Amino acid sequence: EAGVTQSPRYAVLQEGQAVSFWCDPISGHDTLYWYQQPRDQGPQLLVYFRDEAVIDNSQLPSDRFSAVRPKGTNSTLKIQSAKQGDTATYLCASRRLGGQDTQYFGPGTRLLVL
Amino acid sequence: GNSVTQMQGQVTLSEEEFLFINCTYSTTGYPTLFWYVQYPGEGPQLLLKVTTANNKGSSRGFEATYDKGTTSFHLQKASVQESDSAVYYCVLGDGTGSNRLTFGKGTKFSLIP
């Protein structure tokens, strides 16, 4: 069974530029999570979906961040105008509702904003 | 809301020594407690899970116990090896169908060279 895949693996931007991160969850997993992991800290939940619906985006900086999962499978997280404070690793995780509690994480995208 | 505290930012040991990582948590519900491990360049992966019903969990030579009275949660391993070098996270699941996770800051374990 393939794991969670993410692309790109690395991104380097100037402040003010836009960037998109893509996530392909494990097949059959209906719940998808996006986390932000600043350097030397634990991951912090940004948003999560069940199928195509956003269940909780309360921690997503809505003025610059957006996330979609239009067909309930792949998902895209976008930063419209990046700031240096957005420098972090962005992790995607998926889980099958009704199964174990386990969330399976992808390798992440490391973002550096100069 | 939920919160998790890991005071040990880094632990360094010699091979075959005993590893102990402590964590405290705060919650208003009936959480599930996890330890996740993260290797360089990878995402976190589940190491083990402890429910408030059974108080203990074990996996790959690691054991975790939780104490509801002190709201603390410990990870231990009797004899560490080079392959155990990683960052260990204490994690609180909210116990609902959403399974929102709250991560601690992590404890980086490495062997003395």
- The pLDDT tens digits of the residues spanning A50-81 come to 999 999 999 998 799 999 999 989 999 999 99
- Residue in A closest to B89 by C-alpha: A42
Q: Is B45 on the interface with A (CB under 8 A)?
A: yes
Please tell me the least confidently modeled range out of A12-26, A44-58, B30-44, B85-99.
B85-99
Continuous segment of H or E residues that includes residue B21: strand B19-26
CA B33 to each of CA A80, B42, B58, B92: distance values in angstroms, whole numbers, following the listed order: 35, 21, 12, 5
Q: What is the pLDDT of residues B11-21, one digit of tens each?
A: 999 999 999 99
- pLDDT at residue B52, rounded to an integer: 65
Residues of chain B with Cβ-Cβ distance to A41 below 8 Å are: 105-106
Pick B100's closest partner by Cβ from A4, A45, A107.
A45
Partner A, chain B 77-96, Cβ-Cβ below 8 Å: 89, 91, 93
Q: What is the pLDDT of residues A80-109, one digit of tens each?
A: 999 999 999 999 999 987 766 789 999 999
Burial B76-92, CB ≥16 within 10 A → b, else e: ebeebeeebebbbbbbb
Mean pLDDT of B46-54: 79
- pLDDT at residue B2, rounded to an integer: 86
Distance from CA of B39 to the nearest CA of A (A): 10
Partner B, chain A 11-70, Cβ-Cβ below 8 Å: 31, 40-45, 48, 55-56
Burial A59-86, CB ≥16 within 10 A → b, else e: bbeeeebbbebeeebebebebeebeeeb
Task: With cut-offs at 50, 70 and 90, classify the pLDDT of residue B77.
Answer: very high
Q: Is B66 on the interface with A (CB under 8 A)?
A: no
Q: Is B43 on the interface with A (CB under 8 A)?
A: yes
Mean pLDDT of B37-48: 94
Distance from CA of B63 to the nearest CA of A (A): 18
Q: Which residues pair with B61 in a beta bridge?
A: none
Does the pLDDT of residue A1 top 80, yes or no?
A: no
Better-scored residue on pLDDT, B56 or A52: A52
Mean pLDDT of B56-66: 88
Does the pLDDT of residue B100 top 90, yes or no?
A: no
- pLDDT at residue A54, rounded to an integer: 94
